[in-house]
Amino acid sequence: METSTVVAKKPGAAYPWIILALLSMGLLISFVDRTSLSSALADKHFVSDFGLTSVDRGWLNSAFFWTYGLMQLPMGWVVDRYGVKWPYTVCFAIWCVATAATGLVTALGALLLMRLLIGATEAVVIPASYRWIGNNFGENHKGFAVGLFAMGGKFGPAIGAPIAAWLIVNYSWKFMFLATGLVGMVWLMPWLFMVKNDFPSREELATAKRKASSVTLKNILSSPVVWGGMINNFCYGYFTFYCMTWMPAYLVEQRGLSLQKSGLFTFFSFAGIALMATFGGWAADRIIARGHNAVTVRKAFVVAGFIGGCTVLLGALTDSLQAALFWNVLSLSILGLATANNLALCKLTLIPKQAIGLTTGVQQLATSLAGGVSASLSGWLLHVSGNYDLPMMVIFVFLLIGATSTVVLLQPKWAPKVSDEAAPSPPVITEGSGIAKTAAH
């Protein structure tokens, strides 16, 4: 496994922290665009315009995730071989236009088509971003780097929910989609100016193809680490995507908040997980830098995050509005301890660098499935039970499964193997030791 202990110095990465900030902002914009529908679905005018039932709302919320999931592997393959800059640029422009076009549709079929298109093009974000981070940051920086990057995914819905609610209340749902889609296009200017191609020459492109091919899809799928990462991503994503897709409606319909106040408390929840994710990544990095084993440290943070997130059930079972809001915010915030460390562990620390894009694409299938299942299953459970208690009980069960998967499956001996025998033996981090050892073939 190709690792390093310092920030890499390579062409195109002269200012890695600035590029990381751009990637985080790109992730933020992607989450604003994908979650803007949630606020619209809590608006009675939007619901009446399309004649939506609770089941319809669940299917609309989930539509994004089906194409998002289907395109993960193709996008991972593309960025492993052709770099990050141009695939990201093209996809970014398409999803921003599709978001803006959502404000112009008048038929349910067209609305569904826009959601499917946004999902397909946003699929590039995670494989491309982790490919870039893996190439430019060493192990003692990965947790903090991933934490900063992940903040974009948390502040996206945190900022997007109240802004979308405000735009809907003061203008209309149509204006909200137009504004959020078009404003995001500004991001492309610094991205095109500052980021160079990952593989600028034909020789480097050929080398990149060879390295990416040294870890086969068969080897990836035979790794318990990859399956553990998929389980973790599903369990983590089930909770977070529930909050992105159903939290505004839950706060309005079951807790009696206004649409604007629901956006405010959605902001508190996602701001909490963003800050905790950054803290968790930074704290784990500092412990690892003192000589403690990277795998053991990150696993401890992941388990703590999953167990802490289980407090969401306390919010579901209380009759007090204040207590419900408290546990709602706290449970998602504590889950942040798992965010950066789970991502670093499953996508970087235990994965050969030459296969980060493909492996991330495979694992993101589970994340996408979590989004689709969470959105649609929660809608069905709401339909049959009449309240949000049962959907939150399902969240509790999945969080416990995620904690168990972390302990059992995420072990260095089960990391994906490099199939190219001509390649040098990769250093691996063994659990229980703070240093890298050479793997024997």
Angle between helices 321-344 and 224-253 (to 10 degrees): 160
Buried-exposed string 87-120: b where 16+ CB fall within 10 A, e elsewhere: bbeebbebbbbbbbbbbebeeeeebebbbbbbbb
Q: CA dihedral in degrees (191, 13, 26, 353; nearest 10)? A: 140
Q: What is the pLDDT of residues 60-112, one digit of tens each?
A: 888 888 898 889 888 888 887 778 898 999 999 999 999 999 999 999 999 99
H or E segment and range at residue 429: strand 427-429
What pLDDT is attached to residue 154? 80
Q: pTM value?
A: 0.69
The predicted model gives 116-129 an average pLDDT of: 93
What pLDDT is attached to residue 238? 94
Please provide the average confidence, as pLDDT, over all residues in the chain: 84
Give the HSE-up count for residue 348: Cα atoms under 13 Å, Cβ half-sphere. Answer: 31
The predicted model gives 178-195 an average pLDDT of: 93
What pLDDT is attached to residue 184? 92
What pLDDT is attached to residue 430? 52
- Torsion angles phi and psi, residue 427, rounded to 5: -75, 140
Q: What are the residue boundaries of the structural domains of the chain, listed by start? A: 16-438
What pLDDT is attached to residue 357? 67
* Lowest-confidence segment of 279-283, 342-346, 372-376, 390-394 by average pLDDT: 342-346
What pLDDT is attached to residue 330? 95
In terms of pLDDT, which residue wins out, 9 or 180?
180
Residue type, 293: N
In terms of pLDDT, which residue wins out, 82 or 178?
178
Q: What is the pLDDT of residues 392-404, one digit of tens each?
A: 999 999 999 999 9
The predicted model gives 37-47 an average pLDDT of: 89
Architecture of domain 16-438 in this structure: Up-down Bundle (1.20)
For CA atoms 299, 301, 306, 308, give the dihedral sign.
positive
Distance of CA 136 to the CA centre of its chain: 20
In terms of pLDDT, which residue wins out, 156 or 314?
314
What pLDDT is attached to residue 175? 96
331 has a pLDDT exceeding 90: yes
In terms of pLDDT, which residue wins out, 58 or 440?
58
The C-alpha atoms of residue 26 and residue 153 are separated, in whole angstroms, by: 9
What pLDDT is attached to residue 127? 87
Give whichever of 227-236, 248-257, 368-377 has the largest mean pLDDT: 227-236
